């Protein structure tokens, strides 16, 4: 379970970096200053895509090796969302790469980041739900523990 959650964390971070760079590129193009953002995105988007796809493949393999009933039992619906997102990312990327290898021009490979960006949307939802669930459980655990008195009151003298 931890491997699926860890792989989902990495792939979701890669997808969010890709979305952020795309948004920055669109804003820079609207303003007219694409140079700095364009140079950064030329590095960030391919690196985030490759790392995201490798971890998505690992997450899909780990998720498939664990039964879905076990995922449902330990992680609930967020775990199923993460598994579906990892499989979707892997399938979309495999489809785009095989399409590019079938004698076409190779421009299809520009769509590989889209596999990470779209396939990771369920993963982001599932990982966010697990984070919220853990935060609420920690908050409930902290509020349930008795706290020491912070006031420094003097004991009441019964004779006075």
Residue-wise pLDDT for 84-100, tens only, equals 999 999 999 998 888 88
Q: What pTM value is reported for the model?
A: 0.75
**Residue appearing with tokens 């199923």:** 80
pLDDT at 10 over 90: yes
String of b and e for 49-82 (b: at least 16 CB within 10 Å)? bebbbebbbbbbbbbeebeeeebeeebeebbbbb
Distances (CA, A) of 82 to 12, 23, 136: 10, 24, 20
Residue pair 127/64 in contact (Cβ under 8 Å)? The answer is no
Instruction: Provide the mean pLDDT of the chain.
Output: 83
Among residues 127, 110, 109, 134, the alpha carbon closest in space to that of 56 is found at: 127
Per-residue confidence (pLDDT) for residue 3, from 0 to 100? 86
pLDDT digits (tens, 9 = 90+) for 107-154: 777 888 888 888 899 999 998 998 898 888 888 888 877 665 555 556
Give the residue, 28 or 154, on which the prediction is more confident.
Answer: 28
């Amino acid at each position: 379970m931890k491997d699926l959650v860890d792989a989902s964390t990495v792939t979701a971070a890669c997808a969010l970096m890709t979305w952020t760079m795309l948004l920055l590129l669109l804003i820079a193009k609207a303003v007219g200053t694409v140079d700095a953002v364009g140079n950064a995105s030329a590095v960030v988007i391919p690196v985030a895509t490759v790392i995201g796809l490798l971890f998505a493949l690992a997450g899909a393999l780990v998720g498939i090796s664990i039964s879905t009933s076990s995922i449902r039992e330990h992680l609930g619906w967020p775990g199923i969302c993460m598994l579906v997102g990892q499989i979707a990312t892997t399938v979309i990327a495999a489809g785009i790469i095989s399409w590019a290898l079938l004698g076409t021009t190779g421009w299809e490979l520009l769509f590989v980041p889209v596999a990470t960006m779209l396939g990771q949307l369920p993963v982001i939802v599932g990982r966010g739900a697990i984070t919220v669930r853990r935060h609420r459980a920690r908050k409930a655990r902290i509020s349930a523990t008795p706290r020491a008195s912070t006031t420094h009151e003097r004991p009441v003298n019964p004779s006075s």
